Amino acid sequence: MGSENGMELLRFEDYAELGNYMYETALDGEAISAVLYYDDMVDIMRWLLEYEDIDVGNIQIIEEYTHEYYVTLDEFLYLNIKPVIDDNGNTIKENVDVMLFDGDVPNTIALHNPDCEQKEISYKEDDNICGDCCGDCSSCQHKEASMVLELALDFFDYLFNHTDG
């Protein structure tokens, strides 16, 4: 998107800081959505699920989908994730108060969501999205939550791809 779009630019240290921003916005009674590609969507989902009072709403992750996702935290602290583009190639509108756009997503998504406050996000120059990471993921304090999330994603994959019928 680039900063030439006129949106306010928010710089975050890492996913934890972005997650905290989304959490605080939702606590203030505003629904907030981040428009992210798959890898970033999974990482912010992991951080948001670290909060004990956030509940899982509707999660739609599609294996062959290559476009952006809406990662939405509503004012009731429900986490919802869905593709931005539907099966017919149309951009789905997300009804939120605040929408955050990764700098790499197309401008057309913002144009389909004109009724919300729009902000562009980026990460500080070191681009280290794991924060003060030691590089040893096997000893990470978030390992248990990541393992549970990975098991849940595997379960969803099994449900969606192995139905009898």
Tens of pLDDT, residue by residue over 33-91, are 999 999 899 999 999 998 999 999 999 998 889 899 999 999 999 999 999 999 999 99
Beta bridge partners of 118: 99
* Percentage, residues of the chain above pLDDT 70: 75
pLDDT at 2: 44
pLDDT at 126: 46
Q: Are 59 and 84 in contact (CB under 8 A)?
A: no
- Amino acid identity of residue 24, one-letter, is E
Rounded distance between C-alpha atoms, residue 141 and residue 162, angstroms: 33
Q: Is it the case that residue 144 has pLDDT exceeding 60?
A: no
**Mean of the pLDDT values across residues 135-150?**
58
**Mean of the pLDDT values across residues 86-108?**
92
- Which residue would you say has higher pLDDT here, 124 or 28? 28
CB-hemisphere CA count at 13 Å for 25? 22
Q: Model's pTM, two decimal places?
A: 0.74
Q: Is it the case that residue 149 has pLDDT exceeding 70?
A: no
Element (H, E) at 154: helix 143-161
Output the CA–CA distances (angstroms, integers) from residue 119 to 36, 58, 91, 98, 157, in the order listed.
13, 24, 18, 8, 32
